[in-house]
Amino acid sequence: MADLSVNICGVDFKNPVIPASGVFGYGREYEEFFPLDKLGGIATKGTTIHRRTGNISPRIAETPAGMLNSVGLQNPGIDHFISTELPYLLTKNVTILANIAGSTPEECAETASKLDDTDVHMIELNISCPNVKQGGAAFGTDCRMAEEVTRKVRESTKKPLVVKLSPNVTSITDIAKAVESAGADAVSLINTLLGMRIDINTRRPVLHNNVGGLSGPAVFPVAVRMVWQVANAVKIPVIGMGGISSGRDAVEMMIAGASAVQVGAAIFTDPFAPVKIIEEMNAFLDSKNIKSVRDIIGTVEPW
């Protein structure tokens, strides 16, 4: 049994596998399948200052080796999260990353400040949602905006702050450096890649929002590349995600430079995916006689 524990900017995770924000709700639905304390952490559904209804359906489309979604940050609002969902999650002996988003830097800051008085372990600031018109990706695709929203949130909370980055940019390393300079304790990447499918019979886009975020195994190589680039560009830890569906994928992502990984679309194919990934990582490390998963982080040997 290898040591799977990791520490990201002072926060302990019993293992490096975290269901990604958006696929796991607030955990309740998956507890039917396995105890939540098997997980390293949980990134909760993106939550905003006020409740949001999200986009009109269809919000989901299958794509080759992946899927599109355009949920659009449907959530019950931060007050409900703090009063109802968070207390429940905090009894589960698992590290909680509260994922937050907003239409303006001020809204994000206010949402974060409300979490400051709670026992949540980390805040993950989503500056990269492709499915909302205001805020969302607009913050994540411009260095100056990314820096501003990160700084405002940084000033509003003492909680460890992870900023979740968009891949829909020319240079993700520039954005990563901007949020690092604004006080982010870590970055997580990648959010979904903007995509589109059209029904050739009706000529209507499959998603009512026309466009949506691509995830699943199809994006994995893009995610590995971006994690590797960002890990080389910043000093803060990187949480890697994007198409991870096996223990081998998770190991690869950590070798690329990730200190932990998040698992998204794979959970839809197999609800036990995060638990299986933990077991497979352990088996891989044992087979290579590697004592700690920390020993593989960023160990890629580029040509």
Partner 1 sequence: MKYTQGKYIITGKTALAREIYSFEISCHEVAGIAVSGQFVHIRAGNFTLRRPVSICGIDRKKGTLRIVFEVRGEGTSEIARLNKGELIDMLAPLGHGFTINHDFGKVVLVGGGIGTPPMLSLANEYGEKAVAICGFRNSSAVILQEDFRASGAETILCTDDGSAGIHGFVTQPLTELAKNGGIDAVYSCGPMPMLRRVAEICRENNIYCEISLEERMACGIGACLGCACRTVRNDEEYFAHVCKDGPVFRAEEVVW
Shortest reach from residue 98's CB to partner 1, in Å: 16
Name the active-site residue from 9, 108, 129, 143.
129
Give the DSSP H/E element, type plus range, for residue 280: helix 273-287
Closer Cβ to partner 1, 29 or 155, answer by number: 29
Question: Between residues 12 and 35, which has the closer beta carbon with respect to partner 1?
Answer: 35
Among 65, 145, 196, 290, binds partner 1 (CB under 8 A): 65
3-state DSSP assignment of residue 273 = helix
In the sheet that holds 60-63, the strands lie side by side as 60-63, 66-69, 212-215, 193-195
Cα end-to-end span (Å), the chain? 32
Is residue 57 involved in binding partner 1 (CB under 8 A)? yes
DSSP β-bridge partners for residue 260: 239
Supply the DSSP symbol for 8.
E
d(CA 228, CA 101): 25
How many chain residues interact with partner 1 (CB under 8 A)?
A: 36
Helix axes 143-156, 172-181, angle to 10 degrees: 30
Binding residue for partner 1, selected from 5, 25, 92, 294, defined by CB under 8 A: 25
Contact present, 223 and 167 (Cβ < 8 Å):
yes
* Three-state secondary-structure class, residue 275: helix
Binding status of residue 102 toward partner 1 by CB under 8 A: no
Name the minimum Å distance from CB 76 to partner 1.
Answer: 11
Stretch near partner 1 under the rule CB under 8 A, chosen from 81-89, 121-129, 162-170, 270-278: 270-278
Active site annotation includes 143: no
The least CB distance from residue 160 to partner 1, in Å, is 25
Q: Minimum distance between the CB of residue 75 and partner 1, rounded to whole angstroms?
A: 8
- Tokens 């355009």 -> residue: 70
Binding marks (x or -) toward partner 1, 188..227, rule CB under 8 A?
------------------x---------xx----------
Count Cβ atoms within 10 A of the Cβ of residue 280 and give its class: 0-12 exposed, 13-18 middle, 19 or more buried: middle
Q: Which stretch binds partner 1 (CB under 8 A): 8-16, 35-43, 50-58, 85-93?
A: 50-58
Q: In the bound complex, what is the minimum distance in angstroms from residue 68's beta carbon to partner 1?
A: 10
Closest CA to 90 of 65, 115, 109: 115
Buried b (16+ CB within 10 A) or exposed e, 35-62: ebebbbbbbbbbbbbeebeebeebbebe
Which one of 60-68, 79-87, 150-158, 253-261 is the stretch in contact with partner 1 (CB under 8 A)?
60-68
Contact call for residue 81 and partner 1 (CB under 8 A): no
Q: Looking at beta carbons only, is 131 or 150 nearer to partner 1?
A: 131
Catalytic (active-site) positions: 129
List of residues contacting partner 1 (CB under 8 A): 22-25, 29-30, 32-33, 45, 53-63, 65-67, 69, 71, 74, 206, 216-217, 265, 267-272
